[in-house]
Structure 1
Amino acid sequence: MKKYAYIGCLGFIAVITTEFGVLGILPQIAEHYKISIDKAGYLLSAFALIIALTGPFMTLLTSGFDRRKVMLTAISIFLVTGIVSSLSPPFWLLMLVRILPAFLQPVYIATALSVAISKVDKKHENQMMSIVFSGVAIAMVTTVPFATWLSGISSWESSFMVQTIVSLIALVIIYFSLPSLPVKGKKSYSSQLKILVQPTFIVSTAMNFFMITAWFSTYSYFADYLNKAKGMDTTMVSYMLFVFGIIGVFANWIAGKMLSKNITNTTAFFLSGTLIMPVLLYFSGSNLLANMVVIGIWGFLYSPSFLNASTYMISSVPQSMEFANSLATSFGNLGVTLGTTLGGWMIMTKGVEYNPWIGFIFGLLAFLMIAVRKILERKQELPQLCKE
């Protein structure tokens, strides 16, 4: 039933708007609070770190609760965060309310994915997951660039009002459109924790971590990069975010189709962007048309990264979808934290124009993990072939 997938997608838009809505306004926040850009980046990295550290545990703890109630609770906290943040509180309070929804972000994603595939045949599961994950790209097309544009003509606080409104809409839709969904036959904790010692899952987790680190070493400072390396103002950055996101919606749809045919090849195809983008960004210089084309390619190759990471990890342990996805979300956000931290360090020591090359290094590490998993899977297949 696609209805459940679209409801999950709407909530995902609220989640992503809250997590990444600050990307375009970090320079303004830094100026307002009289702090450096790397410290302003803590608003993103701290959010991601909480997800990384608590995601799997929170998902396990809430795995027996009614899924509708879990989704409503999560979005309610995102709503409160948006309201408080829009009031320009002291920086420590802004940081605190930014952290609170992070505890339930992976819970929401895992639950929304579980609900989305609950009424469909197994062959359509990846497509339903791609609909939910398209919320990432849709947010990048609509709410994130709109929030950046609004902050440019008004104030940075207004961007948080966008997050508040989106969360409120999602909350209302979930409340009135999603029926009660109690969990039947809850899995034991021990049966789910077993995946933590499976070599293919461990390697898949490392691939996820390296891939997201690669992308976010530059993407976390999207506005600062385009400001300083490409000479764009806030309004132009919002337009670039729009281009980035428009392409990203299409990319998620394509990725969903491709994943249904071959998960590994699809993941590797989009991961190639971490190696290609540093070169393209370097040679595009300050040419506006060239940069628009390059940012479009960037949006296409980056946007399905969370969908690819989750699907790649789940494919190694399909029997533990929700827990595996929560770990995918956690390690992905650990990658966001490391990428943001390394990106901030690079900005302060060398300059933001060097950030994409961090992505190049971690992209190579991610490709190495894909190769290692291939080797492990072949070793697992050999005994079966010998028996036959």
Structure 2
Amino acid sequence: MSNQNRLLIYILTIGVFGILTTEMGIIGILPSIAEHFDISVAKAGLLVSLFALAVAISGPILPLLFSRINRKWVMLLVLGIFVVGNIVSIFATNFTILLIARVIPAFFHPVYCALALTVAATSVRKEEAPKAVAKVIFGVNAGMILGVPITNYIANQTSLEMSFLFFTIVNALAFIATLIFVPALPVKERMTYGAQISVLKKPVVWLAIATVVFIGSAFSSINSFITEYLEAVTNVTGNLLTLALFIFGLASLVGTIAAGNFLTKNALKTATIFPIVLGAVHLLSFITGKSLGPMMITILFWGILFAIGNNVSQYWITSAAPKSPDLANGLFLSGSNLGITIGTTVGGLFISGMGTQYVVLGGLLFLILSLISIVLRNYMFKHKAQLTS
């Protein structure tokens, strides 16, 4: 891999980290936002759910619309929109303005992420593509995983506005680096819209999409309110809360490595067992939630399984549509974010109706649904499920 290609991939990694941190970092400061704007935590959760809904809507559409434009200019456009949205968030005087400043950039989220994976794969020799893509995916996971504790720490040590400034700086760095160091990236090979969309005629793809949505819902129904859960149930606050979120994040990085090994050895078994194991951990959190030490151990398991679940979802949908990997990744982003919208909404309802401790019940419900959809695909399309195992 040449130095120029290596630099390009590092820039793409920073870019996806900034975008995913903007999306997920907000979870770590939902209670602070609720207090700042004098609203409920459930209402503040709209910053997560509506962002995810916008990604889910645009995921299969906008990447296709932008697929014929020079990739460098598309990346600059998306990063610029995120910078402006974050600047507006810093100075937002009410919750509605903050919500609008987040939702508009959210529509362009899948454009950059899908493009980053494609550019990483095509910028190197074919045999080096998996390694290049893995580095970009690491940026995605790092943004999803570490964005929460980093944002929470900044808000606790300084102010809510400074956490939005952090989002702005990361995206601005990616924008400047792209402008200066990334060469023009014209599109050389263009796959027709019809050829990509035709994959949606296959029932196995829709079962895979359902699985991705259910797994995403299971995660977000709890993870979107993890800060609230630790504060209200475990009585963890301040620096100890930040430590707990960092434990979750670091465990997730370990889970990312473990997931690759598990899926390589036996993908079908990993996918089938995953909802059962995570369900057991959800039950464990219901039991250990009020005890600091045991809950810290539970958070460790939460983090590991969070990363494994993301990898299972991505494998499950790309193995259902192996001839259309770009669209499959777009559907993965859409399905995951639709799951975030649904899960956050359901989690908020459990908190409002039963109390914060019972939010884990929503996660269990979606895990049961994901297990059913996985088993159903295994039974109905066993030959297709074996494609990449």
TM over 0.5: yes
Matched, 1:201 2:190: no
Counterparts in 2 of 1:202 and 1:141: CA distance versus 1, 3 Å:
closer
Equivalent residue letter for 2:23 = E
* 1:372 maps to which of 369, 373, 376: 376
Which 10-residue stretch deviates more, 63-72 or 31-40? 63-72
**2:67 counterpart residue number:** 63
* 1:37 maps to which of 38, 41, 45: 41
Q: Residue 209 of structure 2 contacts residue 332 of structure 2 at CA under 8 Å; is this kept in 1?
A: yes
Which 10-residue stretch deviates more, 48-57 or 6-15? 6-15
**2:104 counterpart residue number:** 100
Spell out, residue by residue over 1:96-120, the C-alpha distance to the aligned partner (whole angstroms, 9 max, x if none): 1101111111111111111222255
Q: Residue 5 of structure 1 contacts residue 113 of structure 1 at CA under 8 Å; is this kept in 2?
A: no
SS in 1 for 2:234: coil
- Structure 2 unaligned runs (5+)? none
1:134-283 mapped onto 2 (5 Å cutoff): 134-139=138-143, 142-283=146-287
Question: What displacement does 1:305 show?
Answer: 3.1
Counterparts in 2 of 1:141 and 1:314: CA distance versus 1, 3 Å:
closer
**1:297 counterpart residue number:** 301
Spell out, residue by residue over 1:217-242, the C-alpha distance to the aligned partner (whole angstroms, 9 max, x if none): 01011111111111111432221111
Counterparts in 2 of 1:264 and 1:127: CA distance versus 1, 3 Å:
farther
* 1:113 maps to which of 110, 117, 135: 117
Matched, 1:312 2:309: no
Spell out, residue by residue over 1:46-68, the C-alpha distance to the aligned partner (whole angstroms, 9 max, x if none): 11111111221111101112222
Q: Equivalents in 2 of 1:121, 1:267: separation in Å?
A: 30
**1:384 counterpart residue number:** none
Which 10-residue stretch deviates more, 362-371 or 178-187? 178-187
Q: Equivalents in 1 of 2:145, 2:187: separation in Å?
A: 34
**2:26 counterpart residue number:** 22
* 2:331 maps to which of 324, 327, 330: 327
TM-score (normalizing by structure 2): 0.91
Q: Equivalents in 2 of 1:258, 1:179: separation in Å?
A: 37
Matched, 1:355 2:359: yes
Equivalent residue letter for 2:25 = G
Q: Equivalents in 2 of 1:80, 1:20: separation in Å?
A: 18
**2:85 counterpart residue number:** 81
Q: Equivalents in 2 of 1:213, 1:342: separation in Å?
A: 9
Q: Equivalents in 2 of 1:203, 1:162: separation in Å?
A: 38
Question: What displacement does 1:257 show?
Answer: 4.0
Q: Residue 10 of structure 1 contacts residue 170 of structure 1 at CA under 8 Å; is this kept in 2?
A: yes
Q: Residue 286 of structure 2 contacts residue 358 of structure 2 at CA under 8 Å; is this kept in 1?
A: no
Q: Equivalents in 1 of 2:254, 2:101: separation in Å?
A: 33
SS in 2 for 1:35: coil
Q: Equivalents in 1 of 2:160, 2:243: separation in Å?
A: 17
Which 10-residue stretch deviates more, 134-143 or 43-52? 134-143
Counterparts in 2 of 1:16 and 1:343: CA distance versus 1, 3 Å:
same
Q: Equivalents in 1 of 2:112, 2:270: separation in Å?
A: 25
Equivalent residue letter for 1:217 = S
After superposition, the CA RMSD in angstroms is 2.3
Question: What displacement does 1:176 show?
Answer: 3.4
Question: What displacement does 1:84 show?
Answer: 1.2
Which 10-residue stretch deviates more, 98-107 or 311-320? 311-320
Spell out, residue by residue over 1:149-192, the C-alpha distance to the aligned partner (whole angstroms, 9 max, x if none): 12113221211111111111222233334332222221111111
Equivalent residue letter for 1:232 = V
- Structure 1 unaligned runs (5+)? 382-388
Q: Equivalents in 1 of 2:380, 2:177: separation in Å?
A: 44
Q: Equivalents in 2 of 1:219, 1:277: separation in Å?
A: 13
Equivalent residue letter for 1:49 = L
Equivalent residue letter for 2:235 = G
Identity of aligned residues (%): 34
Q: Equivalents in 2 of 1:226, 1:203: separation in Å?
A: 34
